[in-house]
């Protein structure tokens, strides 16, 4: 697959693999500091917009149910 036709997910994975090859000890640091490296954009980037919308609606309904129950 050429670099012009690869998807953003494949591009990010390729960059990650190159980084691991260049700095294998960095992977250990990433494992300890995972909460600092992850973000919502990475989570949502792997999902379609429909799945993301469904998750948000479920969370809003669940939150509303908790507040209305009390």
What is the pLDDT at residue 31?
A: 63
Cα(12)–Cα(26) distance, integer angstroms: 17
User: What is the pLDDT averaged over residues 3-8?
Assistant: 79
12 in a structural domain: yes
- Whether 53 has a pLDDT exceeding 80, the answer reads yes
Q: Which of the listed ranges 4-8, 19-23, 33-37, 46-50 does the model predict with the highest average pLDDT?
A: 4-8
User: 36-52, pLDDT tens digit by residue?
Assistant: 555 666 666 677 778 88
Tell whether 1 is covered by a domain: no
Distances (CA, A) of 20 to 32, 35, 44, 52, 65: 15, 19, 23, 30, 45
% of the chain residues with pLDDT over 70: 61
Q: 58 in a domain, yes or no? A: yes
> Pick from 16, 4, 9, 7: which is nearest to 44 by CA?
9
Total domains present in the chain: 1
Residue 27: domain span: 8-69
pTM: 0.40
In a domain, 54, yes or no: yes
């Amino acid at each position: 697959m050429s670099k012009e036709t690869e998807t953003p997910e494949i591009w990010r994975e390729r960059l990650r693999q190159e980084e691991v090859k260049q700095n294998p000890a960095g992977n250990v640091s990433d494992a300890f500091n995972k909460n600092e490296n992850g973000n919502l954009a990475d989570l949502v980037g792997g999902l379609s917009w429909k799945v993301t919308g469904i998750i948000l609606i479920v969370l809003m309904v669940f939150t509303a149910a908790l507040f209305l129950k009390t």
